[in-house]
Amino acid sequence: MPSQKIIIDTDPGQDDAIGILLALASPAELDVLGIVTVAGNVPLSLTSRNALILCELANKTETKVFAGCSRPLVRPLVTAEHVHGKTGLDGAELPPPTMSLQKQHGVDWTIETLLEAEDNSITICCFAPLTNVAMAMIKAPQILPKIKNIVMMGGGYFEGGNITPTSEFNIFVDPHAASTVLSCGRPLVMLPLDVTHKALMQRKWLEDLKALGTPVGDAAFGMMSFYERFDLEKYGSGGGPLHDPTVIAYLLQQELFEGKFVNVEIEISSELTMGMTVVDWWKVTDRPPNVTYINQINADGFFQLILKRLAIL
């Protein structure tokens, strides 16, 4: 029996793709109840299509995929084709999906699933703007006790932002949703740029992916090769950061990560710093801690975990 029931909320996105594949490759630990898509890296029609394509790539056609919200709660949608390409999965040659989306709206399914669950039993894994999760909390606050944990990729403090000087993409796209989720009172774990910028893809790892010689290895190599070009140009670093799979790796091997339980608030008023994650790292205020904020990773262990799991798909 898998030890953890999870919902994946996502906007694939090549790095989301690796996160989804990693989760689907880990049935001994993770029971993926469903995948819910949201508008983010690319519009909802594409993130939904991509999620279906990825389930088929992983040969997990029984996975339920639901489309969620098509735009943020308040602000207009901002997408990231400049990073992910036109489709969101540029770099991989993948056939169109034969699977279909589930009919129910992703937010309604999330609510229904949580309401039917035992208290403290489901982990929500967020790879994207938090619109769906916030909507579910607003629509049905009685879901809150059912949530065991919310583990999200988002934010950045010491590293600054990647879409504006102060703000990370997932939080910036829907800062009002992020603020709602951060104040929900349930356990929260954030994997911000401060940790993902320490998880840089090395050439050898990319070659190892390719050497798997499988459709998953080929697709992962193609997607990652396309995706890292943007960060390489931008940061001039030794490899592009692999963001979203840190969420799943955290569930699988928590010992790879370190962080601190601190207060994190979201800026939702200032246009200049909109979506900034204000982290009280040094506890200089009386604001109560609400987030386990991760800032350290054993990068080698992380990349080996992904390689090992993707090899079995």
Residue placing its CB nearer to ligand BDR in the complex, 168 or 174: 168
246's contact among ligand BDR, Ca ion, none, with CB below 5 to 8 A by partner kind, is none
Helix axes 14-24, 299-310, angle to 10 degrees: 70
The rounded distance, in Å, linking the Cα atoms of 307 and 242 is 13
Interface residues with ligand BDR (CB under 6 A) are: 13, 15-16, 41, 80, 83, 127-128, 153, 162, 168-170, 243-244
Over the window 46 to 65, marking each residue x when it contacts Ca ion by CB under 5 A and - when it does not, the resulting string is --------------------
How many whole angstroms separate alpha carbon 208 and alpha carbon 218?
Answer: 10
Residues with Cβ within 8 Å of residue 60, at least 6 apart in sequence: 24, 32
The single residue among 6, 9, 14, 16 that binds Ca ion, judged by CB under 5 A, is 16
Nearest approach, Cβ of 3 to ligand BDR (angstroms)?
25
Residue whose Cβ sits closest to ligand BDR: 169
Q: How far is CA 86 from each of CA 42, 215, 227, 310, rounded to the nearest angstrom? A: 8, 22, 12, 25
Per-residue interface string for the shown chain with Ca ion, residues 244-283, x marking contact by CB under 5 A: x---------------------------------------
Please give the Cα distance from 58 to 18 (Å, whole number).
11
* Pair type for strands 4-10 and 277-279: unpaired
Q: Which of 128, 206, 220, 299 binds Ca ion (CB under 5 A)?
A: 128
Residues in the chain: 313
Catalytic residue among 105, 176, 197, 243: 243
- 243 given a catalytic annotation: yes
Task: Give the footprint of Ca ion on this chain (CB under 5 A).
Answer: 11, 13, 16, 127-128, 244
* Active site members: 243
